[in-house]
Amino acid sequence: MSIIGIGMDLLLGVLLVVAIAFGVRLEKKLKALRQGQESFAQAVRELDAAARRAEAGLAGLREATDEVHDSLHDRILKARELKQQLDVQIAKAERTPAPVAAPAAIPPLERPRPAAFPQSKPAVDRVLARRFDEDLFESAGDPR
């Protein structure tokens, strides 16, 4: 073998070692790329699952909103109906003549109220207000 042949063999050997080193580096980079791709695919799957959960939550929220809207609409209609009834009663009361006052010579009969059952006007107002609220909310399906 000549010097040229040995030089060519050494050059070929060096190039082979360099090619192997590049192959090892390339394999490491490809392995890192595959791991990154797998983690990216996992992140996409998790994002897809979260989007599905959010869609399900939105659907539930829409249903609840529709139910509340219907309930509120029914209450508003009932309130308008009661307002009209009250307006009619107020108009009727305004047309009714004032009661005739008792003559001054005859004193009105006074009955003593038992102390155990005092009935004040604010208490009557509270009872009437409670009955009005119960009537208003019973028809809307409220379990009060």
Written as tens digits, the pLDDT of the chain (144 aa) is: 689 999 999 999 999 999 999 999 999 999 999 999 999 999 999 999 999 999 999 999 999 999 999 999 999 999 999 999 999 998 888 888 766 665 566 555 555 555 554 555 565 566 555 655 565 555 555 444
Contact 72, 142 (CB under 8 A): no
- For 129, the token pair is 């207000």
pLDDT at 94: 82
Q: How far is CA 21 from the centre of its chain?
A: 61
Please check whether residue 102 is in contact with residue 108, taking contact to mean a CB–CB distance below 8 angstroms.
Answer: yes
What's the whole-model pTM score? 0.39
CA distance 55 to 48: 11
Nearest to 81 by CA among 130, 12, 124, 132: 132
pLDDT in tens, 71-83: 999 999 999 999 9
Q: Which residues contact 137 (CB under 8 A, 6 or more apart)?
A: 75, 144
